[in-house]
């Protein structure tokens, strides 16, 4: 871990290879198949042909919220607020449902122009006229705690929908447009909370899902709310010096039971699903050692500092027992896990993912599945006109 130089995970990505907009049809993106060191090129609509029957496919069903809210001062100065994480109520569902005020951790663009005054934004929602106010509560390093308040009985989710903008990735170098409202969202998104899409899922259409189901392939879902930290570049010389972001996730008891059933034959859709499923293993290990830990959160290097010999099945059963003992039907936890090239997957056998930025933690995760062949895969994609990053093409890594 101490010897992984981030410069070894660099490659040349010309700006013109970054997909700035989605294709007209979701499932017509290219699909790179990597298996046993061999590479082939297909179309995503045929994904089911390359998945094992009697296997389990896990999606991240998080939903991207309109997290960018722009206020204007009387002077004309524009203040852009990016809502990252709910503080009060700290439960996502409760926060989005609140109808009076709420507090979020945010980043603020043009902060120097915002003194201590309360900013206001007038809006209309279904013929309801209201005013959204925001004020500073606290400054926690890079983040600010901001309180939002309004008079109507609208929920904060409704207010975000009308006042906010879709937080498309900064590397697209453009403002969000109407097309992003639909296409920077998976068709199976349900649980509001992400400020970035789990982009491996953007290729799935209803036709692809039906084809998968017809092949005796089970489908299930987890929820991990993707934070802005997913775009945070690694600026340190060595991977272990980078500080990973924390993300919250939720997994139903019934899903854990299904994972146990299909151990050895599990495909994760996206790096967020991988981070969630692998974190499950380490949470189970912790539960076996300490039946009621104070916090259910996986630290960045916990897998590398933990000589755990427990099987995946034992670990997952410990989670089921924990949920049963606490009368819960869903696990709520968080993870800061950093999956590095030397990491050996405990639960996930295959990965569906897009093509990621150079020197990123996501590229490091890809290398944990296919080792140094990541370079061979990316060279192939570059030479065969694959589109890169969030709106780009896909790959299936076996």
73-101: average pLDDT: 93
* Residue spans per domain, the chain: 6-64+183-397, 68-165
CATH assignment of 6-64+183-397, given 3.40.30.10, 3.40.1780.10, 3.90.1150.140, 3.40.50.150? 3.40.1780.10
Q: Confidence class of residue 116 from pLDDT cuts 50, 70 and 90? A: confident
Give the span between the Cα atoms of 92 and 143, in whole angstroms.
18
The pLDDT tens digits for 143-193 are 899 999 999 889 999 999 999 999 999 999 999 999 999 999 999 999 999
Classify the phi-psi angles of 321: left when phi > 0, otherwise alpha if psi is within -120 to 50, otherwise beta: alpha
Give the span between the Cα atoms of 293 and 384, in whole angstroms.
49
Give Cβ neighbours of residue 146 (< 8 Å, ≥ 6 apart): 81, 103, 104, 106, 108, 134, 135, 136, 137
* CB half-sphere exposure, 326, CA atoms < 13 A: 16
Give the span between the Cα atoms of 279 and 285, in whole angstroms.
10
Per-residue pLDDT at 143: 85
Give the span between the Cα atoms of 271 and 244, in whole angstroms.
14
Give the span between the Cα atoms of 57 and 267, in whole angstroms.
5
**In the predicted structure, residue 140 carries a pLDDT above the cut 70:** no
User: What b/e readout covers 74-113, taking b as 16+ CB neighbours within 10 angstroms?
Assistant: eeeeebebbbbbbbeeeebeebbebeeebbbbbebeeeee
Tally the residues of the chain: 398
Per-residue pLDDT at 142: 74
Contact 338, 381 (CB under 8 A): no
Residue 57 tokens, joined? 């496919």
Cα torsion for 108, 114, 115, 120, to the nearest 10°?
-100
Give the span between the Cα atoms of 127 and 292, in whole angstroms.
50
Asked if omega into 23 is within 30° of 0 (cis), the reply is: no
Give Cβ neighbours of residue 6 (< 8 Å, ≥ 6 apart): 234, 236, 237, 238, 239, 242, 359
> 186: closest CA among 238, 148, 224?
224
The pLDDT tens digits for 357-398 are 999 999 999 999 999 999 999 999 999 999 999 999 999 999
346-358: average pLDDT: 98
Query: What is the model's pTM?
Result: 0.94
Give CA separation, 22 vs 12, 101, 158, 352, in Å: 22, 36, 26, 18
Per-residue pLDDT at 1: 60
Contact 93, 225 (CB under 8 A): no
The radius of gyration of the chain's CA atoms, rounded to the nearest angstrom, is 21
Q: Confidence class of residue 259 from pLDDT cuts 50, 70 and 90? A: very high
Q: 4-13, 51-60, 121-130: which has the minimum mean pLDDT?
A: 121-130
Q: DSSP alpha helices (H): ranges in the chain?
A: 92-97, 156-163, 178-183, 206-214, 253-261, 271-289, 312-325, 361-370, 373-383
Per-residue pLDDT at 294: 76
Give the span between the Cα atoms of 252 and 240, in whole angstroms.
32
Could you write out the DSSP letters of every residue in 190-219? -EEEESS--GGGGG--HHHHHHHHHTTEEE
Give CA separation, 293 vs 223, 251, 314, in Å: 22, 18, 17
Burial of 47 (0-12, 13-18, 19+ CB in 10 A): buried
Per-residue pLDDT at 37: 95
Give the span between the Cα atoms of 189 and 183, in whole angstroms.
11
Q: Confidence class of residue 306 from pLDDT cuts 50, 70 and 90? A: confident
The pLDDT tens digits for 13-70 are 999 999 999 999 999 999 999 999 999 999 999 999 999 999 999 999 999 999 999 9
Q: Confidence class of residue 354 from pLDDT cuts 50, 70 and 90? A: very high
| DSSP 8-class letter at 356 | P
């Amino acid at each position: 871990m101490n010897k992984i130089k981030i410069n070894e995970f660099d490659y040349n990505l010309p700006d013109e290879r970054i997909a700035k907009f989605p294709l007209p049809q979701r499932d017509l993106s290219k699909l790179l198949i990597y298996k046993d060191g061999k590479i082939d090129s297909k179309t995503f609509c045929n994904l089911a042909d390359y998945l094992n029957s009697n296997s389990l496919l896990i999606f991240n069903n998080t939903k991207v919220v309109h997290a960018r809210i722009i206020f204007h001062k009387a002077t004309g100065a524009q203040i852009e607020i990016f809502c990252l994480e709910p503080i009060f109520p700290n439960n996502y569902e409760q926060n989005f449902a609140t109808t009076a005020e709420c507090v979020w951790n945010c980043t603020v663009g043009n902060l120097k122009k915002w003194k201590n005054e309360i900013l206001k934004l007038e809006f209309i929602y279904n013929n309801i006229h209201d005013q959204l106010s925001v004020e500073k509560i606290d400054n926690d390093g890079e983040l600010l705690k901001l309180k939002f308040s309004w008079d109507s009985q609208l929920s904060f989710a409704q207010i975000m929908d009308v006042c906010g903008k879709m937080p498309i990735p900064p590397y697209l170098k453009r403002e969000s447009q109407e097309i992003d409202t639909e296409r920077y969202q998976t068709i199976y998104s349900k649980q509001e909370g992400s400020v970035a899409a789990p982009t491996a899922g953007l290729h799935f259409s209803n036709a692809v899902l039906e084809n998968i189901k017809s092949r005796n392939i089970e489908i299930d879902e987890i929820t991990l709310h993707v934070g802005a930290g997913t775009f945070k570049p690694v600026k340190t010389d060595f991977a272990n010096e980078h500080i990973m972001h924390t993300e919250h996730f939720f997994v139903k008891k019934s899903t854990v039971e299904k994972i146990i059933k299909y151990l050895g034959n599990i495909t994760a859709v996206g790096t967020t699903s991988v981070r969630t499923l692998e974190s499950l293993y380490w949470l189970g290990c912790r539960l076996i050692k300490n039946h009621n830990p104070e916090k259910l959160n996986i630290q960045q290097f916990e897998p590398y500092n933990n000589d755990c010999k427990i099987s995946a099945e034992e670990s997952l059963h410990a989670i089921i027992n924990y949920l049963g003992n606490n009368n819960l039907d869903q696990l709520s936890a968080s993870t800061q896990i950093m999956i590095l090239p030397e990491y050996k997957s405990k639960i996930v056998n295959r990965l569906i993912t897009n093509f990621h930025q150079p020197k990123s933690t996501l590229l490091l995760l890809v290398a944990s599945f296919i080792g140094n062949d990541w370079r061979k895969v990316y060279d192939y994609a570059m030479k065969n006109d694959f589109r890169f990053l969030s709106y780009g093409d896909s790959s299936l890594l076996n």
